[in-house]
Amino acid sequence: MSQRAAWTPGSWRSRPILQQPQYRDPQAVAAALATVAGLPPLVAPGEVEALRRHLALAAQGKAFVLQGGDCAERFQDCAKDPIESKLKILLQMSLVLTFSARLPVIRVARMAGQYAKPRSADTEIVDGVELPSYRGDHVHRIEATAAAREPDPQRLVEAYFRSAATLNYARALLDGGFADLHKPHHWRLEFVRSSTHRAEYEALVERILDALDFVESTGVESSTFSTVELFSSHEGLLLAYEEAATRAVVSPDKAATHYMNLGAHMLWIGDRTRALDGAHVEYFRGIDNPIGIKVGPSMVPADLVRLLDVVEPDDRPGRIMLITRMGAGVAAAKLPPLVEAVRATGRTVVWCSDPMHGNGTKTQGGIKTRDLRNIHAEVVETFEVHERLGTILGGVHFELTGEDVTECVGGPQELGEADLARSYETFCDPRLNYAQSLEMAFLLAKRLESRRGKRS
């Protein structure tokens, strides 16, 4: 296969494909996809290009990526409160990071389209009954009945409209200033049990609020928040849908036509669908958007290099984000050969750490959880690997929510396994709650501050 073989938005269709729903009615699917393809784009090409420019800075350590949101966004999350609270935690985390690291933070939400999930098995047993596995609201309903789990083509259209509504409200909040962040009582630090940590965090938040006050008093109040950029992202899993969201974009001089997925600013390839000759890699190589590639412990260095040659032969800075998700205790051994192999190619990539997906565990009672200590340990390990090898950790990727859920153990509220039942709401992977997310930001801020100290 030549790397420059002809590409079209549908050329993935001739490749082996994993993780797709089996619809009964192909005509209904085609009609739904035609509807999506005829709707206006959700994002503009200029925004996608801006994200690529920002990511090029992150690759050099001149900006830092904060990517976060639900594991599986639900259609019901397309509502005022969930959007507000997710936006608020992302903005608060990014303020903490910007303030401490003195780096612009690139906010990328796993939001406005993160509706489809890969699954390790085609079926699951719910209350003794075998059903098709839940693949996300994009595909079907979650209820544990065969009828609910039947893939419904109409949901392809509904996902697009809900993505639009979510993005619209997020943009409106940002344009409107979302000024709540200025008020100390919106920073809920009372969760932090350890009084030493609480005092330290309170002092940092006070300094941040002071700085915001100062900026406001200079009269540039409205510009500080209205220029806050937020980018949307999701796993590019359902390729028929992604194809429908792909648009031809003609360059201003009309000399070239590019293709962009204008259903989100960036998309990533999951760890399960990154096979070199597979449909997902074929689709992703042809879109101009920045793309993420999840890199798990089974990735072989030579394959990663080959994958980069296929998806980004031109090595455009800011196009590729490698999101490593190895697990605490594994990253220190697995990551260096991968980093060295990519470094040896001379390529520019943004290295990010997803400390969530390699750190899943189950309680004795069978509840999926993750321990904050492992999540933090993987981030620290990843920072250390990059520092040792002279490369740069350019960002982090979290599954989080702004709500006070109890899904991950540990953290500032010292949640234990017995607490999980209280407010366990995820339908997929366990997410950091508000306090845990904020604590991760404080811990990261410290790490970035020390990196800044070493560099200057």
- For the CB of residue 272, give the shortest distance to ligand PEP in the complex, in Å: 6
Output 261 or 413, the one with its CB closest to ligand PEP: 261
- For the CB of residue 174, give the shortest distance to Co ion in the complex, in Å: 25
Q: 8 near 243, Cβ under 8 Å? A: no
Output 10 or 360, the one with its CB closest to Co ion: 360
- For the CB of residue 289, give the shortest distance to Co ion in the complex, in Å: 21
Output 48 or 71, the one with its CB closest to Co ion: 71
Tell me whether strands 246-250 and 350-353 are parallel, antiparallel or unpaired: unpaired
375 binds, among ligand PEP, Co ion, none (CB under 5 to 8 A by kind): none
Q: Is 271 in the site for ligand PEP (CB under 6 A)?
A: yes
- For the CB of residue 428, give the shortest distance to Co ion in the complex, in Å: 6
Q: 396 near 444, Cβ under 8 Å? A: yes
Q: Is 73 in the site for Co ion (CB under 5 A)?
A: no
CA–CA gap between residue 204 and residue 409 (Å, rounded):
25
- For the CB of residue 223, give the shortest distance to ligand PEP in the complex, in Å: 34
In 33-132 the beta strands, taken as DSSP E runs, fall at 64-69, 105-110, 123-126, 129-132
Q: 442 near 96, Cβ under 8 Å? A: yes
Q: 87 near 94, Cβ under 8 Å? A: no
- Helix ranges, 80-153 (H): 80-101
- Could you say which of 88, 285, 319, 325 contacts ligand PEP (CB under 6 A)? 325
CA–CA gap between residue 331 and residue 296 (Å, rounded):
9
Contact pattern for ligand PEP over residues 38 through 77, marking x by CB under 6 A: ---------------------------------x------
Output 107 or 294, the one with its CB closest to ligand PEP: 294
User: How many residues touch ligand PEP (CB under 6 A)?
Assistant: 10
Of 49, 95, 87, the C-alpha closest to 70 is 87
Output 299 or 409, the one with its CB closest to ligand PEP: 299
CA–CA gap between residue 271 and residue 109 (Å, rounded):
19
**Structure-token pair, residue 371:** 């321990």
- Could you say which of 235, 407, 429, 439 contacts Co ion (CB under 5 A)? 429
271 binds, among Co ion, ligand PEP, none (CB under 5 to 8 A by kind): ligand PEP
312 binds, among ligand PEP, Co ion, none (CB under 5 to 8 A by kind): none
Q: Is 431 in the site for ligand PEP (CB under 6 A)?
A: no
Q: Is 294 in the site for ligand PEP (CB under 6 A)?
A: yes
- Could you say which of 10, 45, 104, 118 contacts ligand PEP (CB under 6 A)? 118
- Could you say which of 58, 71, 245, 293 contacts Co ion (CB under 5 A)? 71
CA–CA gap between residue 103 and residue 447 (Å, rounded):
13
Tokens 């800044």 found at: 452
CA–CA gap between residue 117 and residue 100 (Å, rounded):
35
- Helix ranges, 220-321 (H): 221-226, 239-244, 279-286, 301-311
Output 357 or 451, the one with its CB closest to ligand PEP: 357
Tell me whether strands 360-362 and 350-353 are parallel, antiparallel or unpaired: unpaired
Binding site for ligand PEP (CB under 6 A): 71, 118, 235, 270-272, 294, 296, 325, 357
